[in-house]
Amino acid sequence: MRQIGHGLLLVALAAGIFGLLPRLGGLTRDAAGLRHARIPFLVAAVVSQAISLGCYAQLYRQVLKALGARLRFRLAADVVLASFFVSHLTPFGSATGTLVAITVGYGAPRSTAVLAVLGYRIVNYWLPLIPGTVAYLRVRLHHGATGQKKPAAPGPSGPPGKETTSCSGQ
C-alpha cells in the first residue's frame, strides 16, 4: 500500500511540475511544446530511464558482492537513487561520498564501502569518459563551436590546365 502511495505522489508531483512549467519565466513556449509530445515516446523514455537506474543499482550490488558484502536489490537501488538525489542538489556533485556514507550506514565496513564505490564509479563514470571524449572531439573537429559542418579544405590544384577529381570519381 505504501508503494502505491509513493507512486501516486510521484505522479502528482510530475503533474504539478508539468502544470507549473508554462508559468515559469521564459519557459512558456517550450512547455507548451511538451503538450504536443508523443506519449509513447515519453513512456519509452521513462521506462528506459527506470531500467538504467535499475542497472546502476545492480552494478553497485554486484561490486559489493564481489567484495564480500551482500545487499538486497531494493537497498542498493535506494542507495544509488539517494546518491543521485544528493549529487544533483549539491554543487560539484557528491555521489561518491554519499554512496560511501550510506553504505557504511547500512553496516558495511568502511574499506569495503570505499572499494565498492571506487569500482562502481570507475565502471559507470570514468570508463564512459573515454568514448565521450572521443565523441566530443569528433564533433568539435567536424562541426566546430557553431555546430555547423566545417567546409572541406581545398585540395591541391594539380598541374596547370589539368583538373582533379574527388576520390569518388565525380
In contact, 113 and 105? CB cutoff 8 Å: no
Q: Cell numbers at residue 24, please?
A: 515559469
Average pLDDT value for residue range 41-62: 90
Eight-class DSSP state of 21: G
Give dist(CA 116, CA 107) in Å, integer.
14
Banded model confidence at residue 118, pLDDT cuts 50, 70, 90: confident
Give dist(CA 56, CA 64) in Å, integer.
12
pTM of the model: 0.54
pLDDT at 155 exceeding the cut of 80: no
Q: What sign does the dihedral 139-140-146-148 (CA atoms) show?
A: negative
Q: Which residue has the higher pLDDT, 74 or 165?
A: 74
pLDDT at 34 exceeding the cut of 80: no
Banded model confidence at residue 73, pLDDT cuts 50, 70, 90: very high
Q: How far is CA 88 from CA 3, 92, 98, 134, in A?
A: 24, 9, 12, 25
pLDDT at site 4: 73
pLDDT at site 43: 87
Give dist(CA 127, CA 109) in Å, integer.
26
- Residues 14-31 have pLDDT tens digits of 666 666 655 655 566 666
- Residues 95-114 have pLDDT tens digits of 778 888 888 888 888 888 88
pLDDT at site 156: 56
Q: Which residue has the higher pLDDT, 160 or 80?
A: 80
Give dist(CA 23, CA 32) in Å, integer.
10
pLDDT at 133 exceeding the cut of 50: yes
Give dist(CA 8, CA 120) in Å, integer.
32
